[in-house]
Amino acid sequence: MTVPSRHVPIYALVLAHTLEVGHGWGKTPPPLAGFYVLDRLLPEIENGAVDERLVDDEDYGDKIPEALKAALEASTSEHAAVQFVPRFFELVDLDAPGPVHVRDKYGFVALGRIADLGPGATVGVFFYAGGRWSRWNRYELSDATGNWAITKFQTLQVS
């Protein structure tokens, strides 16, 4: 899979926002040591009806190219540690104390495919840290000024 170069800043904005605010702790720093990011882009991941088992199906979605992984790691390095992973459930530790139930006190992020809407774009994100820290988010972005910016952020479902 090839990701168009115009998609790199979109994914960088969405991932950085998720690491900073979209995780559900608001502007308060979350009790997370870093973030695992799924190594695939998943269709309609912001839809809470998407079966989470699909996140573990390594044939589902589009592999994130190495160039995009490198760009995302570089763009988020000041926010948090990021590690790309192929699966989700092996990282879940429901016996861990506290609100975080992901191995190593990390959060988990799965990025959706970009839906192009002319000069704008929409991207879905699934975030999980455990307990009540599961959320399905949708970002709307625009490049009306020549630079991509998030114009709307919604949490569609929390569980």
Find the range with the poorest average confidence among 21-25, 55-59, 139-143.
21-25
**Looking at residue 144, what is its pLDDT?**
73
Residue 159's Cα: distance from chain center in Å?
A: 16
Instruction: Classify residue 88 by burial, with Cβ atoms within 10 Å: 0-12, 13-18, 19+.
Output: buried
pLDDT of residue 91: 92
Residue 41: pLDDT over 70 = yes
Q: List, in order of start, the domains of the chain with CATH numbers.
A: 7-158 (3.10.450)
pLDDT of amino acid 49: 64
98: phi > 0 → left, psi -120 to 50 → alpha, else beta; which? Answer: left
For the stretch 50-91, pLDDT in tens is 677 788 899 999 999 998 999 899 888 887 889 999 999 899
Residue 2 pLDDT exceeds 70: no
User: What pTM, to 2 d.p., does this model score?
Assistant: 0.90
| Residue the block writes with tokens 């992973």 | 85
Task: Give the per-residue pLDDT at 141.
Answer: 92
Q: What is the pLDDT of residue 50?
A: 67
Residue 59 CA to residue 146 CA, distance in Å, equals: 35
